[in-house]
Amino acid sequence: MLKRMATILIVEDDPLLLDALTGQLQQLQFSVCTATSVAGATALLQTQAVDGIILDLGLPGADGLDLLTWARNHIAGLPVLILTARDGVDDRVRGLNAGADDYITKPFNMQELQARLQAMLRRARQPAFTQASNAAGGPSTTLGPLLLDHASHTAALNGDPLELTQREWELLELLVNRCGEVVTRDDVLAAWRASPPEPGQTAAPPLNSNALEVYVHRLRKKLDVSPNLVIRNIRGLGYMLAKPAD
Ligand code: CA
């Protein structure tokens, strides 16, 4: 159970559905605020703290995904559940890649929505990253604006694919899996040595602390667009990916 009443922002332009959702969530002891457009929601989020968003995509003026992108860039770790009539796989993938925590299509079952909303809020209160399943059903991790797909070794930042070499991927995965903890140089070097050489390289470069510094430098540049993702030097030990809310 929540220690205090969680506040949910419902962004929905259908007045009947908005009323129904508001009533249901209030019955469940949620505090509810509402917006009927992206502009209205953005204005509200700048003055009021909320614990989660239920977001329609087909909205007048601007698309719900625009709000999702805005929220990902401005409010670390705010959970967003998309509730939309768009039921295509492409839509679902786009929504999840843009950083949505869950995706439910209309028509929907109110009890399922409640259950998934509660689960989403529970995950959000846990450590900064969450293990989840991606749209393709594989294991994935989201950390703030970052999404890692462990099966395909791909990452996306704010919904945009990150170009990573194999070594960069392995380094990033280690840092994300142990977000908030120190990852020692030896940890990274051991992980690198345990994996095959990078494709296209005839002679693998030496895997030592100097090489690691170069890779960390490159990874920092690639994560640089997000002020939330900071790889700290831990003097004499290694590196730490700071939790996004830190
Ligand atoms: Ca709509």
The alpha carbon of 11 and the centre of ligand 1 are apart by a number of angstroms equal to: 9
Helix (H, G, I), strand (E, B) or coil at 221: helix
The alpha carbon of 14 and the centre of ligand 1 are apart by a number of angstroms equal to: 6
pLDDT tens, N- to C-terminus, the chain (246 residues): 445 689 999 999 999 999 999 999 999 999 999 999 999 999 999 998 899 999 999 999 999 999 999 998 888 778 999 999 999 888 988 898 888 989 999 999 999 999 999 888 887 775 444 445 444 445 788 888 899 988 888 899 988 889 998 889 999 999 998 888 888 888 898 888 877 777 666 555 667 888 899 899 999 999 987 777 889 888 888 898 987 764
The alpha carbon of 155 and the centre of ligand 1 are apart by a number of angstroms equal to: 30
* 1-7 long-range contacts, CB within 8 A, separation 24+: 2/29, 2/121, 5/29, 5/30, 5/31, 6/30, 6/31, 6/51, 6/52, 6/121, 7/31, 7/32, 7/33, 7/48, 7/49, 7/50, 7/51
Distance (Å, whole) CA 213 – CA 130: 28
CATH classification (class only), 129-241? mainly alpha
Distance (Å, whole) CA 95 – CA 221: 26
Q: Which residues surround ligand 1, an ion (CB under 5 A)?
A: 13, 56, 58
Indicate yes or no: pTM above 0.75. no
Distance (Å, whole) CA 64 – CA 69: 9
CATH classification (class only), 7-124? alpha beta
Distance (Å, whole) CA 30 – CA 23: 10
Amino acid at 197: P
Tens-place pLDDT, residues 199-218: 666 555 667 888 899 899 99
The alpha carbon of 25 and the centre of ligand 1 are apart by a number of angstroms equal to: 19
Q: Are 241 and 233 in contact (CB under 8 A)?
A: no
Please give the pLDDT value at position 27: 93
The alpha carbon of 87 and the centre of ligand 1 are apart by a number of angstroms equal to: 13
CATH topology of 7-124 equal to that of 129-241?
no
Tens-place pLDDT, residues 23-63: 999 999 999 999 999 999 999 999 988 999 999 999 999 99
Of the candidates 139, 116, 114, 117, which has an alpha carbon nearest to the alpha carbon of residue 129?
139
Domains of the chain by residue range: 7-124, 129-241
